[in-house]
Amino acid sequence: MNHFQGKTAFITGASRGIGLAIGLRLAQEGANVVIAAKTTEPHPKLPGTIYTAAAEIEAAGGKALPLIVDVREEQQVYDAVEEAVKVFGGIDILVNNASAIQLTPTLMTDMKRYDLMHQINTRGTFLTSKACLPYLLKAANPHVLNLSPPLNMEARWFAPHVAYTMAKFGMSMCVLGMASEFRKQGVAFNALWPKTAIATAAVRNLLGGEQSIQRCRKPEIMADAAYAVLSRDSRECTGNFFIDEEVLRESGVTNFDKYKYTEVNDSELLPDFFI
């Protein structure tokens, strides 16, 4: 059964990495994908623009709408949502994927970077959810999926990079609160987080370069897990903090080798933060 034919997914930060992978997975099922991201010119260190992503989405079988969106800018978010509705007629899925990361201790975190992480991660997620909700409330099986970690209140996840952890946990708090707030109206809010590090530009540039990449899984594992969550009944599946591998195991996947970036042993895979 094709769950996503003609459904519209609004994905922030979808020009590359996990956001793009999720868009491609939904496009394979005939979804309309709104690529809400700010990269319009190729970046020296990062692959992809909203336009290259749109071409990939179309090639995968979906319809693409590339929109220039900085989730820090309220008007840009609202304009993008209105444009998506004008073009595709509604919004069925929101994926809050846009995120900023800096893993620095307190004295090494400048406030400009602190503000960036909180504006994109927590505030951007709240704002985009708020802007999409009037349309999600009209959808048949509305889902919001935040790419954020389980709320694990252990000091070890805060001490090394408290500013980043607060900003990511803010996204997870949106899941906790909004899932309960909109449960009766049938809008699902869930979080999805990887069990292992994922091979993205952030890992390559910030977390140990090429050596770390060798011990990662591909973004496709997050895309397949997102697909599994978004396929569920929104009234039955809300308020969960999902881990990619666990979701896929529940769906019957037993061999995860195809998701490895290189042929390393499972024991050599880098575990992700917060788990």
Domains of the chain: 8-268 (3.40.50.720)
Work out whether strand 188-193 and strand 241-243 pair parallel, antiparallel, or are unpaired.
Answer: parallel
Rounded CA-CA distance 171/166 in Å is: 9
Enzyme catalytic residues: 164
Give the per-residue pLDDT at 16. 93
Give the per-residue pLDDT at 260. 96
Nearest to 161 by CA among 98, 100, 102: 102
**Nearest 5°: CA angle at 151, between 150 and 154?**
115
**Nearest 5°: CA angle at 81, between 77 and 87?**
140
Name residues of the chain where pLDDT drops below 70. 1-2, 206-208
Provide CB contacts within 8 A for 38, sequence distance 6+: 50, 68, 69, 70
Give the per-residue pLDDT at 202. 76
Give the per-residue pLDDT at 201. 79
Q: What's the pLDDT tens digit per position in 187-197?
A: 999 999 999 99
Nearest to 188 by CA among 172, 199, 175: 175
Rounded CA-CA distance 144/124 in Å is: 14
Q: What are phi and psi of 108, to 5 degrees?
A: -105, 5
Query: The tokens 């994905």 sit on which residue?
Result: 11
Q: Is 221 helix (H, G, I), strand (E, B) or coil?
A: helix
Can you give the pTM of this predicted structure?
A: 0.97
Nearest to 62 by CA among 85, 39, 34, 38: 34
* Residues 95/22, Cβ–Cβ less than 8 Å: yes
